[in-house]
A and B are shown apart, each in its own frame.
Chain A
Amino acid sequence: MIETAGASPLNILVCVKFVPDPNQLQADANGRPDLARAPFRISTFDENAIEAALQLSARHGGRVYGASIVTGQMPPRDVLLRALAMGLEALYLIKDETALAADPYRLAVALAAATRAILGAEKIPSWDLFICGEASADQYNAQVGPRLAVALDLPAIPYATGLEVRQGRLVANRAVDGRSETLETSLPALVTVGTEINQARMPTVLQVMGAGRKPIRDIPLAELPGFDAQALGQRPSLRTIDVSAPPSARKRVTIEGKNAAELAAQLLSRLRADGEVKF
């Protein structure tokens, strides 16, 4: 393992969610999301999380692993390979076939158990850092990162826009509710990131194909050590009872015209008729 000046290598676990691409998700005839027809992708902020981990690992040495709880439909293999092609050492899929971990509380409990299982499987003494996307592109609960920190009893810095490890301590920048902050904590720690922190690398088709040699390891949720599926199943939950496309209250009028001037004039006359423009 390559060590950079004075730095010890980092073992980083990135929590990754594979989601139906919200931008390509259509409603079916009943106004329900047509999940079977939407292409899958790595949840947007999770790509930034993987990138942030890889950049730290390039500086300090160490390895970056991915963990994903897969509920229901298995993501297509090419999407899994994409995550590996970005630079993950291995991808762990925790298979939740009965959709037990379908809310953020249960997800965090399952992920906490998964972090321990992966340590054992990879024979790593301990994790140094956990990186999560700030929120998932599909459910957008923005809870799992901070929840996982509590479940693992770790210090957490959400919304990091810059990360550094100095003398074994984590230094993070962020901009939150009108303030710019530099925060510092000990390792191991957990951070969440959004698009601000980096531009995630895009693996080439060749790299994605080459990633087929890297390990994808499945663990059934119920087999995670220390994970009590039955007890969790009896805990209170957040249950989705219906998902539908809301009827749009918008007029959704497409302004037509031969050129910019015509379009502009049309728009202005519409806005004047509505009383939104007073001149």
Chain B
Amino acid sequence: MDGASILIFSESSDALVELLTVGRALCTPAGGRVTAAAIGQTATALAEHCLARGADEALVLQTTAESFPGAEELVFGLRESVRAADPDTILIGATRIGADVVARLAQALEVPCASDCMTLCRDRDGNLEVERRIYGGRFTARQVLTGRPRIASLQPNRYPKAEPVQKPHGSIRQLAVKLPPPRVRTEVSSPRARSAVDVTKAEVIVGAGRGVKKVEDLALLDALAGALGGVLAGSRPLTGDVDWLPTDRRIGLSGQTVKPNLYIACGISGQIEHIVGMKGARTVVAINNDPKAPIHAEADYTIVGDLYEIVPAFLEACERAKRA
């Protein structure tokens, strides 16, 4: 094979420039090109963003759609870019939308796809070899994708973002696409209340889980976060099954991927959904009264105990230490 051809796509510009880094790393010694696909009203800006960071080409899909296309239409547009770029590998950011798009695109192209990859490399035969977490995150699977193109999705906020290059060399190619009429109609779409804080940038995070019994009890964890100069976040049950915390404070596969220096998991059992989001933390503390909770295996320091006793005591210890 002479040189790799990699197509990257994400509706999120942050995720896209991470894919650029990974795509570049997958290029063979014989060289290779990384092409970014962009669609929607911000397509040109996204394309320029990628070119400034070293992408070899950017495909701007021009559509007549007024709003950002749904997954089915996105897949239609992406198939056009696959035709144009003829990639051997497609990398897509695993946001919720991205995870939907990647699966549909793979089926439409009748090819395999590996979701939420932690590592990617080429094996000796030029196939794509990936590592993913399976069985609740307790095991790692090494998997090989054959065929062309093969597709992988990557968790956002895991890889370094590509930096601006001194001499951008890539150019924009316009693709006119007539998207099919949507079969799924959007009746209502409103931005959810955004938190004042960005958990992906926090140095300290206190994570609240199902072990928190009442919404009022979050005040206690919030106070601990405050004492440590950090922010409060939550697992999927607290940000989805109940609306105790905004969804942009959800740590996990269906939410944010975070890399704080210190992560304190309170009453969180440790499902894969959650672990994937917080495994980049430098130091992890788990407070959970169930000695069998999987979170303990993912922690540097574990306390098997009732968070309603441990957290107030720890908060008090912190405040005493600050005064001293």
Residues of A within 8 A of B (CB): 20, 22-23, 25, 27, 33, 103-105, 108, 134, 137-147, 149-151, 155-159, 161, 171, 175-186, 194-196, 235-246, 248, 250-255, 260-261, 263-265, 267-268, 270-272, 274, 276-277, 279
What A residues does B247 contact at CB under 8 A? 175, 178
Contact of A177 among B96, B102, B240 (CB under 8 A): B96
B318→A268 contact, CB < 8 A: yes
Residues of chain B contacted by A263 (CB below 8 angstroms)? 303, 305, 310, 313-314
Complex contacts, A254 vs chain B, CB 8 Å: 296, 301-304
Asked whether any CB of chain A lies closer than 8 Å to the CB of B254, the reply is yes
**1/0 per position for B86-125, CB-CB distance to A under 8 A?**
0000000001110110111011101111111000000000
Given A186-B183, A279-B318: A180 and B146 within 8 A (CB)? Answer: no
CA distance A123 to B72 in the complex (A): 31
Q: Which 8 A-B pairs have the closest CB atoms?
A: A236-B147, A22-B136, A264-B313, A238-B112, A155-B183, A143-B103, A260-B313, A150-B107
Q: Cβ of A177: which chain B residues have Cβ within 8 Å of it?
A: 95-97
Q: With A147-B106, A251-B300 given, is the CB distance from A140 to B186 under 8 Å?
A: no
B115, B142, B194, B310: which contacts A240 (Cβ < 8 A)?
A: B142
CB atoms of B285 and A267 under 8 A apart? yes
Which of B72, B138, B142, B299 lies in contact with A241, CB distance below 8 A? Answer: B142
Q: Check B100 against A158 for contact (C-beta < 8 Å).
A: yes
Which residue of B188, B254, B261, B301 has the most chain A CB atoms within 10 A of its CB atom?
B301
- Asked whether any CB of chain A lies closer than 8 Å to the CB of B166, the reply is no
Interface mask (B244-283 → A, CB under 8 Å = 1, otherwise 0)? 0001100001100000011000000100100000000011
Q: Which residues of A contact B133 (CB under 8 A)?
A: 140
With A149-B104, A248-B297, A267-B301 in contact, do A185 and B135 touch (Cβ < 8 Å)? Answer: no
A105–B111 CB distance below 8 A: yes
Known: A146-B71, A183-B186, A184-B187. A23 touches B103 (CB 8 A): no
Q: Smallest CB-CB separation from B140: which chain A residue?
A: A246
A196 CB, nearest partner CB in chain B, Å = 4
Q: 8 extra interchain contacts, Cβ-Cβ under 8 A, other than A171-B187, A182-B189?
A: A23-B269, A105-B107, A151-B107, A156-B72, A241-B142, A241-B144, A254-B296, A267-B303
Across the interface, do B240 and A161 meet the contact criterion of CB distance under 8 Å?
yes
- Is there contact, CB below 8 Å, between A244 and B139? yes
Per the bound structure, the CA–CA distance linking A176 and B142 in Å amounts to 29
Is B196 interfacial (CB-CB < 8 Å)?
no
Interface pair A245/B115, CB less than 8 Å apart: no
Q: Shortest distance in angstroms between B110's beta carbon and chain A's nearest beta carbon?
A: 7
User: Please, which residues of chain B bring their CB within 8 A of the CB of A33?
Assistant: 135, 138-139
How distant is the Cα of A268 from the Cα of B324 in the complex, in angstroms?
14
Q: What residues of chain B have their CB less than 8 Å away from a CB belonging to chain A? A: 71-72, 75, 95-97, 99-100, 102-104, 106-108, 110-116, 129, 133-148, 150, 183-192, 194, 228, 236-237, 240-241, 247-248, 253-254, 261-262, 269, 272, 282-285, 294, 296-305, 309-310, 312-314, 316-318, 321-322
Of all chain B residues, which has the CB nearest A251?
A: B300
Q: How far is the CA of A236 from the CA of B146 in the complex (A)?
A: 5
Given A137-B136, A178-B191, the answer on whether A250 and B318 have CB atoms closer than 8 Å is no
Find the A residue at minimum CB distance from B204: A276
Closest A residue to B149 by beta carbon equals A236
Could you tell me the distance in whole angstroms from the C-beta of B11 to the nearest C-beta in chain A? 8
- Measured in the bound complex, the distance between the Cα atoms of B240 and A195 in whole Å is 8
Also in contact, A243 and B140, with CB within 8 A (given A140-B134, A177-B97): yes
Shortest C-beta distance, A163 to chain B (Å), equals: 13
Q: How far is the CA of A244 from the CA of B95 in the complex (A)?
A: 26
Q: Is the CB of B317 within 8 A of A264?
A: yes
Q: By the criterion CB–CB under 8 Å, are B115 and A265 in contact? A: no
Q: In the complex, what's the smallest C-beta–C-beta distance from B44 to chain A, in angstroms? A: 21
Give bound CA distance, A86 to B181, whole Å: 38
- Name the one of A22, A196, A264 contacting B135, with C-beta atoms under 8 angstroms: A22
Please, how many angstroms separate the alpha-carbon atoms of A112 and B296 in the complex? 40
Q: Cβ of A196: which chain B residues have Cβ within 8 Å of it?
A: 240-241
A235 to B115, CA, bound (A): 19
Q: With a CB–CB cut-off of 8 A, which chain A residues contact B313?
A: 260-261, 263-264
Whether the Cβ atoms of A271 and B285 lie closer than 8 Å is: yes
Contacts of B301 in A (CB 8 A): 251, 253-255, 267, 270-271
| B184 / chain A contacts, CB cutoff of 8 Å | 155-157, 183-185
Q: In the complex, which of the residues B108, B141, B144, B192 contacts A175, with contact meaning CB atoms closer than 8 Å?
A: B192
Distance between A71 CB and nearest chain B CB, rounded to angstroms: 14
What are some 11 contacts across the A-B interface (CB < 8 A)? A25-B138, A138-B134, A145-B103, A146-B107, A147-B106, A178-B248, A242-B141, A244-B139, A260-B313, A264-B316, A267-B301
Are A277 and B115 touching (Cβ within 8 A)?
A: no
A191 to chain B, nearest CB (A): 10
CB distance from B281 to the nearest CB of A (A): 10
Contacts of B269 on A, CB cut-off 8 Å?
A: 23
- Residues in A with CB closer than 8 Å to B135 are 20, 22, 25, 33, 138, 243
With a cutoff of 8 Å between Cβ atoms, the chain A residues found around residue B188 in the complex are 180-182
